[in-house]
Amino acid sequence: MSSAVYPGSFDPITLGHLDIVGRAAGVFDRLVVAVLANPRKTPLLPVEERMALIEASVATLSAEVAARVEVAAFDGLTVDFCRRVGASAIVRGLRAISDFETELQLAHNNRRLAPGIDTVFFMTSLEHGYVSSSLVKEIASFGGDVSGMLPPAAVEALARRYGA
């Protein structure tokens, strides 16, 4: 059984993230969406809420896809988490060429730390290529409409957070 980890902060999950989840779950038998719970950083949403939003969003996908997806929190090195959950691949999304340089460096470093774990890149779908969690948070903080960029559960979470 092939297993992969899709790591990120998912603060909040976007439709671009959800697109990658759906496509990666079609390639791997098991996909663990790994939510970074870094105590040295202060996300907008606590890790438990981010995990709940991912679970609610994944539940809107097909039953076949949803059955392949797990959600877990982690801190530390991604490759260490991959070893703990038995994953042989790390899934990363690329929105633009500008993402590639950083992601390539991460992939090479991860490969050096764990030669048996490969990084697999998925290009974000065209319609979600401009979306980022930080952009969405900024728009929402000014009362802008983010419903075309986020799954409904995440839209509701940001509305509660920003009092919209």
Residues catalogued as catalytic: 17, 41, 95, 133
In 77-160, beta strands by DSSP E:
89-94, 118-123
Any idea which residue has 């590639």 for tokens? 100
CB 128 within 8 A of CB 15: yes
Whether 35 contacts 63, CB under 8 Å: no
Give the angle 150-71-58 at the CA atoms, nearest 5°: 40
